[in-house]
Amino acid sequence: MSNPPSVLVFDVNETLSDLQPMAQRFTDVGAPGHLSTLWFAMVLRDGFALTAAGSQQPFAELGAGALRTVLTGLDLDRDLETAVAHVMQGFSELGVHDDVPDGARGLRDAGLRLVTLSNGSSQVAEQLLTRAGIRDSFQHLLSVEDAGAWKPARTAYEYAAGACGTPLDAMTLVAVHPWDIDGAARAGMSTVWINRTGASYPDYFTPPTHTVSALTDLAGRLA
């Protein structure tokens, strides 16, 4: 491997975890399943708004608050707070994408250091990776809660570099979200975009260094 990145920094929500079951949680409570996608975009929108305004709140609080906004006024089959709790419970019981276990083990076996850096809590990442049987492939599970700012603020990536004792330009962010790729690139990291769905990459964001359609393809691309 020529010039291998010393640390691979993984985004967690939607990059490692599969959010597909969230649509069922919405239909469970009597709401349209397609609102799950809107809800997740709103959580990020509001989290980034707070970041842009110089503030920060825990991901779970934004998740529940944005759910109240999305679900208010719908004809739900239970009261609003019970519906919010049911949907949020689903978020903490997600599994990983099919390509994640083999992909992560392959990268670890190739001698790379793997960490996570999530806008969510470290606890959610811990439970997700433990359930998937790949917790031991990751050295550190980092959260922006300890960084003082959400990604894609530069501060968040700098925090990860400090926690790993590695300069930013020796780190590679791996994510499905173009906004994360863009922020990491602006901070000086190389980047990998996982595009599992054949999506288009917005031209207003910094392009990724590498693009793969599955995590299992990454070790070969970095070789």
- When binding is defined by CB under 8 A, the residue of 24, 27, 30, 68 that contacts its own copies is 68
Q: How far apart are CA 121 and CA 12, in angstroms?
A: 10
Does 57 bind its own copies (CB under 8 A)? Our answer is: yes
Does 50 bind its own copies (CB under 8 A)? Our answer is: yes
- Looking up tokens 């990751």 gives 138
Question: Exposed, middle or buried by CB within 10 Å (0-12, 13-18, 19+), for 76?
Answer: middle
Does 75 bind its own copies (CB under 8 A)? Our answer is: no
Residue number, 46 or 99, with CB nearest to its own copies? 46
Which region, judged by CB under 8 A, interacts with its own copies, from 13-21, 140-148, 165-173, 177-185?
A: 177-185
Q: How far apart are CA 94 and CA 164, in angstroms?
A: 27
Which region, judged by CB under 8 A, interacts with its own copies, from 21-29, 52-60, 94-102, 215-223?
A: 52-60
- When binding is defined by CB under 8 A, the residue of 20, 30, 38, 131 that contacts its own copies is 38
Does 212 bind its own copies (CB under 8 A)? Our answer is: no
**Positions 178 through 197 that interact with its own copies (CB under 8 A):** 178-179, 182-183, 186-187, 197
By the 8 A CB rule, do 5 and 170 touch? Answer: yes
Please report how the helices 80-91 and 59-71 are oriented relative to each other, as an axis angle in degrees rounded to 10: 130
SS3 173: strand
SS3 133: coil
How much of the chain is in helix, strand and coil states, percent to nearest 5? Answer: 50, 15, 40
Which residues in 32-91 belong to E strands, given as ranges? none
Least distance to its own copies from the beta carbon of 109, Å?
33
Least distance to its own copies from the beta carbon of 124, Å?
18
Binding site for its own copies (CB under 8 A): 32, 34, 37-38, 41-42, 44-46, 48-55, 57, 61-62, 65-66, 68-69, 72-73, 149-150, 152-154, 178-179, 182-183, 186-187, 197-200, 202-205
